Structure 1
Amino acid sequence: MTAKKISILGCGWLGLPLAEAFVRQGYEVHGSTTTPEKLTLLAEKQILPYQIELNTLELKPENQLFFDNEILIVNIPPKRNSGNNYAQQINNLQQALLRSTVKKVIFVSSTSVYQPALEEITEASTLDHENAKELLEAESIIANDGNPWQTTIIRFAGLFGSGRAPGRFIAGKTDLPDPEAPVNFIHLEDCIQIIQEIVKQEKWKEIFNACADEHPSRKVFYTEAARKLQFPAPTFEAKKVGKKPEKLISNQKLKETLHYKFTFPDPLKAL
């Protein structure tokens, strides 16, 4: 029986354990990195390694096999203060894919594309075209209806889990705003399982919000996150009177479409 094949562009904090999970499922996994030193690590984990840089992407002979698989997972988040470089990177990727055999793409995006709202945020909610312009442009490029592949976009909430503690950078800070605002997080293990379910169930041409069920307040969550790390607790401004727009991400479509039950439905209990 021929091994199932999949390519993962970007084997970083999420991409590497995702690649390992697919290897355990019997896939032949092709994984990319921009770092030459990481090629050996990928090979040791039974991931076929490629060094691919989207800024200067060319279909070199040594990279051709990476794009010869039917399914591609794009896990290259934009860097902060990158200007318009990220959209150009995804445009370069699009041009390479037009000369490839890829038929199905999963594009890892973020719930940062949404504007705050007074109601729960769904996949149909208003998008933040000012502050998330670059990411939305990248989504539009990779999911263009004229492309000869089908794209599913996953908009992940704040990612946490192994090696990424959400309380680290906020511990000890003072007078933080919006103590009662809900937080939106998702654990690494759920991210991996959701991507695997999309591939397994062949849910293409979709957009999913991926966020844990529960949304504790910023004050409750970050105070507990700091305590777990044995760091000084942050302090918050006094609660403001009156409701204002905020982000409370709904995962209802994902749960109903994939019949998915979260491993870590409450991020507070997963710290």
Structure 2
Amino acid sequence: MKQISILGCGWLGFPLAKALLENGFSVKGSTTSEGKLAELKALNIDPFLVALDSKSITGSIENFLSGSKTLVIDIPPQLRGKNSDSATANEKVFVEKMKTLIPYIEKSRIENVLFVSSTSVYGKANGTITEETIAKPDTESGKQLLEVEALLLNNPNFKTTILRFGGLIGEDRNPITFLAGKENLENPEAPINFIHQEDCIGIILKIITTDSWNEIYNGVCPFHPTRETYYTQKATELVLPLPQFNHSRPSNGKLILSDKVETVLGYTFIKTEL
């Protein structure tokens, strides 16, 4: 039985762990919440309390990595307060956390790393975006994600695949809950670039089961209605106040393609409408 370690059993990592178990893998899962350890264990996920810091790691990171050939890193930058997108360039907290982690990966028997990144690395670019597009992040979190991508991809001790997800949505998560009733929203004609939780899990499973390493993939559903069309429809479906958009200025936005997921990886999207 193949064993996989998932660093970060949160909104995506937890259901991913369950899906891996259903597909015959054994799973070690980390959390920063002591109260979640029992929940992981109850589902036959080997639980570990692990927290990364810019200078150290709390918890038994060696045991968490031991016995696994594949590591999934699914922890967001979570730059808040002084470490928000207004942080100065030398406050690279997330980058430093990864630099603390990497030596432990090198000393382990991990052969493959899957790093969950974000399409935020493309910044505010306009037009069509593919994996070949030069990433130019304009937020601190995007800049740090891109730097971590490079750290992992350039490390010769293991193979790395980068998965850049678009906006994450699911049965319990949709941005309309924050935008309902809002007025003067910008870019009504810009396309959405979202992906459903089920497809996030499906793509990760496909990467792991086909050994698709040393790659960069965009993970975005090939369904791109305009912001106004999508959010109006979702507000109507959920009986929420309709958002109001500003049409006085031209819309700007990027259309992120994930053709490579379909043609190279051979993945078929489950949620073709969101």
In the superposition, the TM-score normalised over structure 1's length comes to 0.91
> Are 2:137 and 1:139 equivalent residues in the alignment?
no
How many residues in Structure 1 have an aligned counterpart in Structure 2?
261
- 8 Å CA contact 1:115, 1:247 repeated in 2: no
- 8 Å CA contact 2:179, 2:243 repeated in 1: yes
CA distance in 1, matches of 2:239, 2:35: 34
Pair 230,59 (structure 1): closer, same or farther in 2 beyond 3 Å: closer
Range moving further from structure 2, 4-13 or 231-240: 231-240
Q: After superposition, give the CA deviation of every residue in 1:61-103 in whole Å (9 maximum; x if it has no partner).
A: x442311211000000111333421111111111221221111
Task: Give 2:236's aligned residue.
Answer: 227
1:189 CA displacement: 0.3
Q: After superposition, give the CA deviation of every residue in 1:35-84 in whole Å (9 maximum; x if it has no partner).
A: 11110110011100001111154486x44231121100000011133342
- 8 Å CA contact 1:171, 1:232 repeated in 2: yes
Range moving further from structure 2, 64-73 or 114-123: 114-123
- 8 Å CA contact 2:192, 2:224 repeated in 1: yes
CA distance in 1, matches of 2:247, 2:171: 33
The ranges of structure 1 where at least 4 consecutive aligned residues each deviate by more than 6 angstroms after the TM superposition are none
Task: Give 1:26's aligned residue.
Answer: 24
Task: Give 1:126's aligned residue.
Answer: 134
% identical aligned pairs: 40
CA distance in 2, matches of 1:134, 1:198: 24
How large is the Cα RMSD of the aligned pairs? 1.6
Q: After superposition, give the CA deviation of every residue in 1:85-133 in whole Å (9 maximum; x if it has no partner).
A: 1111111111221221111000000001003444310011131244221
Q: Secondary structure at the match of 2:160?
A: strand
* Unaligned segments of structure 1, at least 5 residues: none
* Unaligned segments of structure 2, at least 5 residues: none
Task: Give 1:266's aligned residue.
Answer: 273
1:229 CA displacement: 2.2
Range moving further from structure 2, 102-111 or 72-81: 72-81
In the TM superposition, 1:47-126 aligns within 5 A as: 47-55=45-53, 57-58=56-57, 62-68=60-66, 69-81=68-80, 82=83, 83=87, 84-126=92-134
Task: Give 2:196's aligned residue.
Answer: 187
CA distance in 2, matches of 1:165, 1:45: 27
Task: Give 2:205's aligned residue.
Answer: 196
1:226 CA displacement: 1.6
Q: After superposition, give the CA deviation of every residue in 1:180-202 in whole Å (9 maximum; x if it has no partner).
A: 00000000000001000000110
> Are 2:10 and 1:12 equivalent residues in the alignment?
yes
